[in-house]
Amino acid sequence: MQVRLLRVLQDRFIEPLGAVEPIRVDVRVVAATNKSLSKLVRAGKFREDLFFRLNVITITAPPLRERPEDIGVLITHFAGKFAEELGKSAPVFSDDVLQTLTGYTWPGNVRELENLIQRLIIMTDGKKIESPDLPSVMRFSVMPDFVPFRSLAEEETAYVRRVLASVGGNKSKAAEILRIDRKTLRDKLKPENDKMKVK
């Protein structure tokens, strides 16, 4: 197949099945890949001559995690698109949700974001998307900013507070997620456990 494509690009002729004469074509080719073609060339899995024939102008699209400034625009676009398809009003995304989605690593790239927004539009009846509406893998995967001079106990308290916030302040649900009882949860949220040690 690579040989046939190379011949088309070089000679600008195609031979449809059953045709008597080749047909001249005048086309501009835009090719896209999520593989490293240069590595495939070195491995002998992609023809070098075809690679250089295709590689006239290269545009590199970085993954979504490297362009967080685009996430808000994409959320607005997908929310409007799916809300219109379902005959609903596009919901508002809370600041906490936007912060979480901006800090998420998006291993599935833009397609993962699109699927998430579609799911949220379908599953949420309210006018606002809040943190508890997000999948747990997203709520707990975003790492907080590094805070110097914080003890292990303080780090634990901060984590407990994040879990509590993710379930809308429901202490029973937070205790269930953390696998502790409500009394232990209350102890970990005491003010003395949340003091910073400053030197």
Both 44 and 75 in a single domain? Answer: no
What is the residue-averaged pLDDT of the chain? 84
Residue 141 counted as domain residue: no
Residue 139 counted as domain residue: no
Return the higher-pLDDT residue of 155 and 64.
64
Write out pLDDT tens, residues 112-135. 999 999 999 998 888 899 988 888
Q: Where residue 141 falls among pLDDT bands split at 50, 70, 90?
A: low
In this prediction, residues 126-154 reach a mean pLDDT of 71
Q: What is the pLDDT of residue 74?
A: 95
SS3 string, the chain, reads CHHHHHHHHHHCEECCCCCCCCEECCCCCCCCCCCCHHHHHHCCCCCHHHHHHHCCCCCCCCCHHHCHHHHHHHHHHHHHHHHHHHCCCCCEECHHHHHHHHHCCCCCHHHHHHHHHHHHHHHCCCCEECHHHCCHHHHCCCCCCCCCCCCHHHHHHHHHHHHHHHCCCCHHHHHHHHCCCHHHHHHHCCHHHHCCCCC
Q: What is the pLDDT of residue 196?
A: 40
What is the C-alpha to C-alpha distance for residues 179 and 182, in angstroms, rounded to an integer? 10
Write out pLDDT tens, residues 36-91. 899 999 999 999 999 999 998 888 888 898 888 999 999 999 999 999 999 999 99
Both 129 and 157 in a single domain? Answer: no
Return the CATH number at 182.
Answer: 1.10.10
Residue 186 counted as domain residue: yes
Residue 123 counted as domain residue: yes
List all residues 6 or more positions away from 104 whose beta carbon is below 8 Å from its beta carbon.
65, 138, 141, 142
Domain that holds residue 32: 2-54
Both 70 and 19 in a single domain? Answer: no
pLDDT of 162 strictly over 70 = yes
Both 73 and 128 in a single domain? Answer: yes
Nearest of 188, 182, 184, 183 to residue 162 by alpha carbon: 188
| Its pTM surpasses 0.85 | no
pLDDT of 167 strictly over 90 = no
Q: Where residue 150 falls among pLDDT bands split at 50, 70, 90?
A: low
Q: What is the pLDDT of residue 195?
A: 44
Domain count, the chain: 3
Residue 59 counted as domain residue: no
In this prediction, residues 7-27 reach a mean pLDDT of 88
Both 126 and 181 in a single domain? Answer: no
Q: What is the pLDDT of residue 82?
A: 94
Q: What is the pLDDT of residue 190?
A: 74
Residue 113 counted as domain residue: yes
Return the CATH number at 95.
Answer: 1.10.8.60
Both 50 and 72 in a single domain? Answer: no
pLDDT of 107 strictly over 90 = no
Q: What is the pLDDT of residue 194?
A: 45
In this prediction, residues 166-187 reach a mean pLDDT of 83
Residue 102 counted as domain residue: yes
Both 158 and 177 in a single domain? Answer: yes
